[in-house]
Amino acid sequence: MHGQWSSRWIYILAATGAAVGLGNIWKFPYLAGEHGGSAFVLVYLVCVAAIGIPMMMAEVMLGRRGRQSPVNTMRTLAKEVGVSSQWQWLGISGTLAGVLILSYYSVIGGWTLAYIVKSAMGTFTGATGEAATNLFAQFVSDPLTLFFWHTLFLVMTMGIVARGVQGGLEQAVRYLMPSLFVLLVVLVGYAMTTGFFTTGLSFLFTPDFSRLSGTSMLAAMGQAFFSLSLGMGTIMIYGSYVPEGTSIAQTSVAIAIADSLVALLAGMAIFPIVFSQGMQPEAGPSLIFETLPVAFGHMPGGLAFGVLFFILLLVAAWTSSISLIEPAVTLCVENFRMTRRTAAIWCGLFTWVLGLGTVFSFNIGVETTLFDMTFFELLDFLTSNLMLPLGGIALAIFSGWLMTPQVSQSELQMQDMTGYQLCKCSFAFWLPLRCSLFS
């Protein structure tokens, strides 16, 4: 029997957990820092509203209509609307993308586990920027250390997934998501005491369009898409668990608002701390693992708040990780008659082995490249720049152009034809826009 969320509220928590991840806490702040702050944030929010929400509605609509894994859902819906069964490749691509992303996501999730321990031990107390940089370089250069933390994080993830929808996924998000918001609010509260809170707010919310470029706009759009976990099967599989009678439009808006709120709160927590220590927000990906540890190491109460921050990062990574592997596990249960626990073990083992390529990309395999990219860089490029955009294009075509009005209007539960036509136009509009930006 296909699982189902016990309530609308649990679904919102679960889908928000799938959307909220390292992309919000780790990636959003450093992208905002690199691309001028407030102008980037404004474009990001416009992309979430104009593109992210309609695409989330489309993906949830397909998931709830099919009530299966993404692969079987697309096969079933293609038959229903009278088109080729090859549309199942949209589900295959999304499911595979989720596994590939989790394989390196798990390694970075392992970093957060390690940094919780390092912070609690006072490793960063009084550390200089050079010392923090050297510490991170030494950490990632040790394959056995990364092997251990990658393994531990993936075991934690699969342990939840193996317990099923209501026994595992629901129980995890019921406690983890409220904890994430509490931790964020606590860190924002601390940021307000640094004396640089208004500087951080100005950086985030006072637009400076002179710093906005085509690259910035593309980065903002890509971040909106990645942040909402679109095109990788996670929203579709979570949509398949949505109870009948739940408004897809209302819940999609709620999830997008919650996801964006987490990203903004992360910026409000991080940038005042960065400015208070005289550091630059343009630090890039090293902002979290090299720059912030120095800040925590020199501020009053920094040890406790450093631990809280990396726990926050862990919770965000964990809730996303369980959603990334869920489509693959469900597919194995449906198509290979496995028990859920067996499916979780095999999917987890495959992902773990794949993740070793990322582990070695930072040390013994750093010189091994393909197309001038390490294994980790190749996976990131393949998923973020190819699989997710192409999957989104295919999703837009199917939802906006091939689904019959009777089916899509029934699933969206929109009696108002104006609102329904607006949604359909949004689905279709996304296609040429995405094609032009990624061509």
Q: 332: domain CATH number?
A: 1.10.4160
Question: Would you give the distance in Å from CA 365 to the centre of its chain?
Answer: 26
**Inside any domain, residue 1:** no
Residues of the domain holding 375 = 8-438
Cα–Cα distance for residue pair 80/76, rounded to 1 Å = 6
Q: What is the pLDDT of residue 157?
A: 95
**Inside any domain, residue 3:** no
User: DSSP letter string over 320-332?
Assistant: HHHHHHHHHHHHH
Amino acid in position 313: L
Q: How confident is the model at residue 435 (pLDDT cuts 50, 70, 90)?
A: very low
| Domain count of the fold of the chain | 1
Range scoring the smallest mean pLDDT among 229-238, 277-286, 304-313: 277-286
**Inside any domain, residue 317:** yes
Mean per-residue pLDDT, 354-373: 94
pLDDT tens digits for 55-108? 888 899 999 999 999 999 999 999 999 999 999 999 999 999 999 999 999 999
Instruction: Answer yes or no: is pLDDT of 227 > 90.
Output: no
Assess contact for 219 and 35: CB atoms under 8 A: yes
**Inside any domain, residue 412:** yes
**Inside any domain, residue 169:** yes
**Inside any domain, residue 352:** yes
Assess contact for 126 and 293: CB atoms under 8 A: no
Lookup: tokens for 384: 């973020």
User: Mean pLDDT in the chain?
Assistant: 86
**Inside any domain, residue 137:** yes
Cα–Cα distance for residue pair 49/45, rounded to 1 Å = 6
**Inside any domain, residue 263:** yes
Instruction: Answer yes or no: is pLDDT of 418 > 70.
Output: no
pTM over 0.85: yes
Q: Point out which residues pair with 373 in neighbouring strands.
A: 370
Q: What is the pLDDT of residue 72?
A: 96
